[in-house]
Amino acid sequence: MKLSLGVKVLIIVTCILFSVIVGIGAGWLSHQPSGRKRDAVLVGGGTFGGTLTLVILVLATLDVL
């Protein structure tokens, strides 16, 4: 696919926003009331990184990016 640079940037920004939402959800679900908040932040950050990597690799494999 021949997409313009603006469309590719929009796709990347959408992927980042989707990964942020997934990371926030994972951190929120992993938080325990008696636990430390930094553990939930670490889980959310790891999930964000993994989700962003997976989405970018899938789009690159499908030749969108």
Tokens at residue 12, please?
Answer: 């990347």
What pLDDT sits at residue 13?
Answer: 95
Model confidence over 3-54: pLDDT tens digits?
889 999 999 999 999 999 999 999 999 988 888 888 889 999 999 999 999 9
What pLDDT sits at residue 16?
Answer: 96
- Within 13 Å, how many C-alpha atoms sit on residue 43's CB side? 15
The model carries a pTM of 0.84
Cα separation, 50 vs 27, whole angstroms: 13
With 0-12 / 13-18 / 19 or more C-beta atoms within 10 angstroms meaning exposed / middle / buried, residue 48 is buried
Cα separation, 23 vs 37, whole angstroms: 14
What pLDDT sits at residue 33?
Answer: 86
Q: Are 48 and 20 in contact (CB under 8 A)?
A: yes
